[in-house]
Chains A and B, each alone.
Chain A
Amino acid sequence: MLEIKCPYCGKRSQNEFSYGGDATIKRPKLGEEISTEDWDNFVYYRDNPRGKHSELWHHVSGCRQWFKVSRDTATHEIFDTCKMNEDFNV
């Protein structure tokens, strides 16, 4: 069982959360010229490291906020969590 620290509610069990994937992908900006390759990369291509991974989680059975988690994909150690508009400290 993962223990995830929601930046709003504190430490809670994994059961309260759902996963949102790679936190580093950015939607291409609206109103600008966008190449099809940029769209493809946004839709289909992700970071998939063995080790430190920035990812999104949703406190779906709690405060319902989305936030960022820095977690090791091999050991599941959670290094840090932060709000969507913040950066990790670790």
Chain B
Amino acid sequence: MQKYSVFSLVKNAFTNHENWEVAWKDPEPKKEYDVIIVGGGGHGLATAYYLAKEHGITNVAILEKGWIGGGNVGRNTTILRSNYMFDSNAHFYEFGMKLWETLSQELNYNVMYSPRGIINLAHSDAQMNAYARRGNSMRLNGIDAILLGRDDLKKMIPFADFSETCRFPIHGGLMQPRGGTARHDAVAWGYARQADSMGVDIIQNCEVTGFDVNNGKIEGVQTSRGNIKTKKVGLCVAGSTTLLADMLNMRLPIEAHVLQACVSEPVKPLLHNVVTFGAGHFYCSQSDKGEMVMGGDLDGYNSYAQRGNMPMIQHVLTGGLAVFPNFSRLKMLRTWGGIMDMSMDGSPIIDKTHIEGVYLNCGWCYGGFKATPSSGFVFAHTIAQDQVHELNSDFNLERFHTGKIIDEKGVGPKPWIG
């Protein structure tokens, strides 16, 4: 594989950049693979990469119905963080943060990791107490956290509404300085390029239409490009998980919901952190192109449509204007939606299943992008070793029967209640 560097850039400049190698090939599916990953998104590509790199399993195919990176890895708001209170989440996402810090070097692909800090605003004394508690839990788990006061925030986001009379005055906030953003497409492409270079077949326009299961064991998958034999299948299809689970007669504690995001026209640098409004559904960061990247909450009813509806956009931006009134003059550039696999406790499921050789990676709710490296790492371990990794041992399916759920948000099994 061609190494990307300043020297290769200069060298290729002499030939008008016409001789770059393709980043990944477009192979025909083989008759048989050791492992098949269904879903060529961030998690599927990362899983294939770590299967090859950490476990030496390179006879791997990624089957993608559309094109790689066309689903949620290309539709999220690119935020990275590990500001969780519960141990299972804190350890898992912090492991991911450490992978993010060196990912560009590891993949030889600039994922534009930007540790610009994520600030959760607090609007009441009670919320400040809750954030102090969460910050302390984070620090006990070795995660960076700073409690900010109102005066600190006036210096950081001076254009926010700091008036005394506004409906939700800013009392302070909790900040994770190492949190930030990364270039989402580059993450998918970087993993794809490295996985391909180690022998993984990335097969696009290949829809899985069925599974061959015999005596409780997986033997192969049926696809729109023919039947393929395999002993192990990993499902990384986010919002479409239930559709595949139905083919395997598995009922999952998951509902599909649409989540929207939007960007404004590009403006000069203004917002230097990721900021979340603590009294409503709104968060925002400014992209390197200058656009305000904004998001909020689910549209609020089951949906497999990768597009949203205006009432939620209006609701989210109303919250946004409450905290950043100067945004009212921004023009909207684009809105879009992605399908979330909402689990019933808000935490993911990375586990084996009742079918030997079928592994499940789903239930990411709104938080899948930041988990891309850690999810790929532990899912590759789960598939290769046929046992869960220490970091995903709590993210099991069994918890919906044992009661050991990981309900960080505390809303119960009603995903549409934000």
Contact = CB atoms under 8 A, between A and B. Distances in A.
A37 B309 contact: no
Contacts of B255: 21-22, 46, 48
Which of B254, B303, B344 has most chain A Cβ within 10 Å?
A: B303
A45 B251 CA distance: 7
B133 interface: no
A43 B413 contact: yes
A86 to B, nearest CB: 21
A12 to B, nearest CB: 13
Contacts of A64: none
B304 A50 contact: yes
A8 B349 CA distance: 41
A26 to B, nearest CB: 15
A2 B309 contact: yes
Contacts of A71: 301
Contacts of B304: 50, 73-74
B302 interface: yes
| Category for how many chain B residues contact A | 20 to 34
Contacts of A36: 401
B213 to A, nearest CB: 21
A46 to B, nearest CB: 6
Contacts of B344: 43-44
Interface in B277-314: 300-305, 309-311
Interface string B92-136: 000000000000000000000000000000000000000000000
* Tier of interface size on chain A: 20 to 34
Nearest to A75: B305
A19 B301 contact: yes
Contacts of A14: 309, 311
A55 B301 CA distance: 9
Contacts of A37: 401
Contacts of B413: 43-44
Contact of A76 (B243, B254, B303, B311): B303
B324 interface: no
B243 A50 contact: yes
A14 B304 CA distance: 18
A24 interface: no
Contacts of A41: 251
A86 B309 CA distance: 29
A19 B416 contact: yes
Contact of B414 (A21, A50, A75): A21
Nearest to A39: B401
A9 interface: no
A42 to B, nearest CB: 10
Interface of B: 242-243, 251-256, 300-305, 309-311, 344, 400-401, 413-414, 416
Interface of A: 1-2, 14-15, 18-19, 21-22, 36-37, 40-41, 43-46, 48-50, 53, 55, 71, 73-76
Given A18-B300, A44-B413, A76-B303, 10 more contacts: A15-B311, A21-B255, A21-B414, A36-B401, A44-B400, A45-B251, A45-B252, A48-B242, A49-B242, A74-B305
